Structure 1
Amino acid sequence: MTSVKICGLRRKEDIDYVNLYQPQFAGFVFADSRRKVSKEAARMLIKELLPKIKSVGIFVNEKEDIVVETVEYTGLDCVQIHGDEPPEYIERLRDLLGRATKKKIEIWKAVRVKNKESLEIISQFDADAFLLDAYVEGSYGGAGAVFDWQLAADISARHGRIILAGGLTPENVKTAVAKVKPYGVDVSSGVETDGFKDADKIRDFIYRVREAD
Structure 2
Amino acid sequence: MTLVKICGLMQLSDAPAVNQAQPDFAGFIFVPGKRRQISLAQATQLRHALQPQIKTAGVFVDAPLAEMLIPLQQGIISVIQLHGHESESTVQALQAAGAQVIQVQRQATPIQADFVLYDAAQPGSGKTFDWQQLPQQPSRPFFLAGGLNLTNVKKALTQVQPAGVDISSGVETAGLKDPAKIAAFVQAVRQFDSEVQHHAKN
| TM-score (norm: length of structure 1) | 0.84
Matching residue's letter, 1:54: K
Matched, 1:29 2:23: no
CA separation in 1, counterparts of 2:63 and 2:31? 8
Pairwise CA distance, 1:129: 0.6
CA separation in 2, counterparts of 1:74 and 1:191? 26
> Runs of 4+ in structure 1 displaced over 6 angstroms?
none
Which residues of 2 match residues 99-114 of structure 1 at below 5 A? 104-112=98-106
Matching residue's letter, 2:160: V
Pairwise CA distance, 1:168: 0.3
Please tell me whether the aligned partners of residues 146 and 167 of structure 2 are also in contact (alpha carbons under 8 angstroms): yes
Pairwise CA distance, 1:70: 2.3
CA separation in 1, counterparts of 2:139 and 2:22? 26
CA separation in 1, counterparts of 2:152 and 2:52? 29
**Aligned match of 1:115:** none
CA separation in 2, counterparts of 1:143 and 1:190? 9
Please tell me whether the aligned partners of residues 39 and 73 of structure 1 are also in contact (alpha carbons under 8 angstroms): no
**Aligned match of 1:91:** 92
CA separation in 2, counterparts of 1:211 and 1:174? 9
**Aligned match of 1:146:** 128
Identity fraction in percent: 40
Matching residue's letter, 1:45: L
Moved more, 17-26 or 83-92: 83-92
CA separation in 1, counterparts of 2:140 and 2:160? 12
**Aligned match of 1:165:** 145
CA separation in 2, counterparts of 1:193 and 1:108? 26
Please tell me whether the aligned partners of residues 15 and 50 of structure 2 are also in contact (alpha carbons under 8 angstroms): yes
Pairwise CA distance, 1:86: 2.2
Which residues of 2 match residues 6-85 of structure 1 at below 5 A? 6-32=6-32, 33-85=34-86
Q: Which stretches in structure 2 are left out of the alignment for 5+ residues?
A: 194-202
Deviation per CA, 1:98-149: give whole Å up to 9, x if none.
xxxxxx320111125xxxxx3x12x1x211111110124xxxx222211221
Pairwise CA distance, 1:68: 0.5
> SS at the partner of 1:134?
coil
Would the alpha carbon gap of residues 24 and 153 (structure 1) be closer, same or farther in structure 2, given more than 3 Å must change?
Answer: farther
Matching residue's letter, 2:125: A
| TM-score (norm: length of structure 2) | 0.89
Moved more, 21-30 or 74-83: 74-83
**Aligned match of 1:177:** 157
**Aligned match of 1:2:** 2
Matching residue's letter, 1:130: V
Matched, 1:132 2:132: no
CA separation in 1, counterparts of 2:190 and 2:93? 37
Pairwise CA distance, 1:75: 2.4
> SS at the partner of 2:105?
strand
